[in-house]
Structure 1
Amino acid sequence: MALPRAEVLFGDSPEAPALSKAEVSERFDELMKAVDIAPTRTLGPADVVQAFTEGRGISFEQQPTTAYGALTKALGGADIQKSLSAESLASITGALDELKAQQPDLVKDITTSSPVAGGLVAFDLEAPAKMLTPRPTPLRNRIARKRGIGLSHRFKVISGFSGTGTGGVANLHPGIQDTTQTNFAPSGSAQSLYYARGPKITYAGYDKTVAYSQFSVSDQVTWSAQYAGQGYQDIRQLSRTSLMYSSMLLEERMLLMGRGTAGNGFLGALAAPTALTLTARTATGSETALTGVSTNIYVKVTADAGDFGQSVLTSAATVAPVAQVVDVTVTLPAGATGMRVYVSTGSSDPGDAARWYAGKSGTNKFTLQGALPTSGVAASTVTADTSAYAAGYDGILPICTGPDSGYVNRLNAALSTANPGVEWQNAFVALYDKVKADPDRTLLNGADRKQLSDALKTSSSSNYRMTITQDQLTGVTIGDVVNTIINEVTGKGVAVEVHPWMPQGNAPIISDSLPIPDSEVSDVWSVFNVQDLMGIDWPVNQFAFESSSYWFGTLLCYAPAWNGAITGIQAA
């Protein structure tokens, strides 16, 4: 503990005349000498034992914690009072009393909030920042990536010939007799050239053109952010890494649910749902009746296109106020992943600016319950279709649910518990009958896969059984999951996989290869890129480091009819 300077203790004060430097020094020396000669005693273990043996006890008084307290206690000691002159003692006491008011640091402790509010402490900051950012891209990792050229990728397809039962080509009987005559004149010719030969087979085919699109995302790091972050994290490196993963994740979502415009040869925008109906009913199970509704309920919906957008709004439907739940049902267009619902209340329709997003469903039904939203995303923000993009292509879900798909079934119901997996078996039968397809895997949302696994375990007709033996009464592992569905048509195992970004209610059925040895199709699904993903650091022309990603390509499916989808799976 440092004592105040001699000038502070013995300097000018209202009570004492000014002292010379020699007098100040002399009085300070007297104080130090008195402090030094003050008797001290150190108690050892023997002293403590003797004191308690004699019944005297020992008192440990609170020691001063500030400079002011230490000096005041010292000046009150008999030894120091004897050693100092009365004049010196009075001067020191007066100076201390004056300093007590003028210099709080003499009377305050140093704590975690004093003398600085935040404390004189270090920050235990761990570097660098933790990247809690999931970034799985299973489709991008699996689908073949090939070299593209020009502005589009083109190929020709022979979709059928006599005997295949595909491409709309009718079968013909090959039987002949000696008198059989077949016209072999060129097609469209008026000339007749009959020969004694079997009938000619016929063909079907088509050309396919898939346009390439450009894609890019960007990021910026200001100079201040980069340089201020030195010693903690390389902000430019973080920016580049995030930009790369962001590009891959956005491409993954496009591969799954992207949708291109019809003008570029893709499926185009989703139509709005039709047959919008509102039905009030009594709440059941875990449902909660509507609360706070005293006026009419107005609802509009859109067809959901997944992560990238939605269709235009329907017209409004209305229902009178009820203390029940209200089912919103529609007819969804082909290719929709579900619907989004916007709701408002009032004695008359307040319009889209006061109609709020209430949620979405993977089926054709959404139930309004509890407290209706009164803020958030307004229906007025849905000013145009955002389900399809000119700079985009059709992803797996649109293709598997589109007009060229081999099978689409919109359940609008939960998965069967009476016959678990029957939805997929029906699809396998239809795909085999149509093109002799033998799919490789099906993709599900995590909740839908759980529902399928639970259906197996709870089915009364299932042979699934859980057995716990005597030696397993503790540490029992419960739960099971469906990882393969056996195709009851071909006997092949179809892998059941969860896709991290799959919209609930949708399950595409995918063929990776064709069961045709000379199809000239090595991969049913392929990404063709004129330029695959690359990163660009732009020249510095302002106080910032700027980067972009870029890729130029498309996704194509050579054989849509060998794929299918189950949609409208009601959440459990």
Structure 2
Amino acid sequence: MNPTQDTLDLVKGALATPDDRIGKTISASTGLLAFDLQMPAKNLYPFVTPLRNSIPRVGGGTGTATNWRQVTALLGSGFDAMGWVPEGQRSGQMSYTTASKSASFVTIGEEDAATYEAISAGRHFEDIQARMTFRLLQKMMLKEEMAILGGNASLQLGTPAPPSLSASGSGATLPAATYSVIAVALTLEGYQNSALAAGVATTKTITSADGKTYVLSGGSSNKSANATQAVTLGQTLFASVTALQGAVAYAWYIGAAGAETLQAITTINSASFAAPLAGGQQAVSAVTADNSANPNYAYDGLLTAALKSGSNAYVKTMATGAAGTGTPLTSSGRGSVGEIDDMFQQMWNLYQVSPTVLYVNVQELKNITAKVLSNASGPLLRYEISGDGANPYDLAAAGAVSFYFNPFTLNGGLKIPVRIHPRVPPGTIIGFAENLPIQYQS
């Protein structure tokens, strides 16, 4: 007897005619499986920084601030627009308008960390340190983009005026009661930092990686005094507040007097309420001061610099209009938008400059397109199609304005790109002159 040979023969026989029960002993449910993990981790988040990408990087200066002198006007002798001089005489002497300017250096930052254990455990999946650095850089760029656009060191919103209220209409489901309404204005930073679920951003204490703490203001004004309005069942409550220059949005606190809670955040200076109020919202008692700026830490971004008093920027605040609706853009009737045309004309008349790019929200891109492509502008729209007859009705649905022509410039006008920016709120259009025209070059 040969045990080894006999064992092999039995194994061969079993494999040749396997028992059905043996064949099903191991299945996928046992968990003895490989794990198909795609490498590396997928970064499924938006990363859009057009301003940061287009502004040239300049090396650091010295000291705590950069300083410059500017000449803003050349004032001729006599009549400024006349240069006539009698024979044999000299002209009077011209003068200048000058100013000294400075901007303090500030620090922006973001941090991340990885443990040695995480680095070791991540081998063969992704390079934890490299990917961490890449994602940290992206987040830093996103924060820098927001700082360039709406950083606020010096524009204090203060306290809004008490809201103006009314009630009218029928069919609304807002319960009958006397409602108290309080408004809080928001800067661009405040609008981005606030939400109905989380509440209006006031202040936040940050614990840094070194264990120290500092406090940042969230971008909200102080709360207004309250106003009250009696509402009967079926009526809609309408509220508006005097617009504050520097605010891009407004938070609305509504309820019984002394118990107002956050019910809406709007990008116009009015709101309407037709449904029962939501419960569990932030109480107005959370807002105790003007937290609109960070004078010790921030610099003024493009929008803030333009909105500040005395900036000489063109700022157009639309009329309040119907509460909850606002005042929309208007068509010029010649294939353009009246308010944008007015901006271009005013910038030329005062300073002979033009924006080189328009940054808008998705809503405003739709509104601009709707005003440009109205029935009145139909005869001004040119459509070109191939004459070979292959696709006589090959049309693409929809479309948008991608450039806006400014005729008020030297040398026949300028085509200005219209670009969506994810941080520009609805109701705001930013015209940015990336470079001064040739007549301004030093």
Stretches of structure 1 lacking an aligned partner (at least 5 in a row): 1-28, 37-41, 43-62, 71-107, 180-195, 262-267, 284-288, 521-572
Contact map agreement 2:75 2:97 (CA 8 A) in 1 = no
- Equivalent residue for 1:400, pick from 306, 312, 321: 306
Distance 1:332 1:516 in 2: 36
1:63-122 per-residue CA deviation (whole Å, 9 max, x = no partner) reads 98547xx9xxxxxxxxxxxxxxxxxxxxxxxxxxxxxxxxxxxxx966655xx6xx4444
Partner of 2:213: none
1:254-312 per-residue CA deviation (whole Å, 9 max, x = no partner) reads 10011113xxxxxx3222322411222337xxxxx653534333322222111352212
Give the match's secondary structure for 1:144. Answer: coil
Q: CA deviation at 1:505?
A: 1.3
Q: CA deviation at 1:478?
A: 1.7
Partner of 1:60: none
Partner of 1:312: 222
Q: Are residues 360 and 171 of structure 1, via their aligned partners in 2, closer, same or farther at CA, if it must alter by over 3 Å?
A: farther
Percent identity reads 25
Partner of 1:570: none
- Equivalent residue for 1:457, pick from 361, 364, 373: 373
Q: Are residues 378 and 170 of structure 1, via their aligned partners in 2, closer, same or farther at CA, if it must alter by over 3 Å?
A: farther
Partner of 1:326: 237
TM-score by length of 2: 0.76
Bigger-Rg structure (1/2)? 1
TM-score by length of 1: 0.60
Partner of 1:251: 144
Distance 2:99 2:220 in 1: 31
Paired letter, 1:158: V
Partner of 1:16: none
1:369-407 per-residue CA deviation (whole Å, 9 max, x = no partner) reads 434321244433334333211211111111222321331
Partner of 2:441: 519
Contact map agreement 1:363 1:505 (CA 8 A) in 2 = yes
1:19-65 per-residue CA deviation (whole Å, 9 max, x = no partner) reads xxxxxxxxxx9xxx9xx9xxxxx9xxxxxxxxxxxxxxxxxxxx985
Contact map agreement 1:299 1:317 (CA 8 A) in 2 = yes
Distance 2:245 2:143 in 1: 24
Distance 1:279 1:236 in 2: 59
Count of aligned pairs between the two proteins? 385
Paired letter, 1:239: M
Partner of 1:280: 167
Q: CA deviation at 1:443?
A: 1.4
Q: Are residues 258 and 170 of structure 1, via their aligned partners in 2, closer, same or farther at CA, if it must alter by over 3 Å?
A: farther
Q: Are residues 178 and 109 of structure 1, via their aligned partners in 2, closer, same or farther at CA, if it must alter by over 3 Å?
A: closer
Give the match's secondary structure for 2:107. Answer: strand
Stretches of structure 2 lacking an aligned partner (at least 5 in a row): 1-5, 191-218, 320-326
Q: CA deviation at 1:241?
A: 1.5
Q: Are residues 508 and 518 of structure 1, via their aligned partners in 2, closer, same or farther at CA, if it must alter by over 3 Å?
A: closer
Residues 40-439 of structure 1 aligned to structure 2 (within 5 Å): 66=21, 113=29, 119-147=31-59, 148-163=61-76, 171=80, 174-175=83-84, 197-261=90-154, 268-282=155-169, 290-291=172-173, 293-308=175-190, 309-321=219-231, 322-343=233-254, 345-346=255-256, 348-350=257-259, 355-356=261-262, 358-389=263-294, 390-402=296-308, 403-412=310-319, 413-419=327-333, 420-439=336-355
Give the match's secondary structure for 1:388. Answer: coil
Q: CA deviation at 1:208?
A: 0.5
For the pair 1:479 / 2:398, whether they are aligned, the reply is yes
Paired letter, 2:159: A
Q: Are residues 299 and 392 of structure 1, via their aligned partners in 2, closer, same or farther at CA, if it must alter by over 3 Å?
A: same
Q: Are residues 363 and 428 of structure 1, via their aligned partners in 2, closer, same or farther at CA, if it must alter by over 3 Å?
A: same
Distance 1:236 1:290 in 2: 57
Distance 1:275 1:472 in 2: 61
Q: Are residues 282 and 421 of structure 1, via their aligned partners in 2, closer, same or farther at CA, if it must alter by over 3 Å?
A: same
What is the Cα-based RMSD across aligned positions, in Å? 3.5
For the pair 1:446 / 2:362, whether they are aligned, the reply is yes
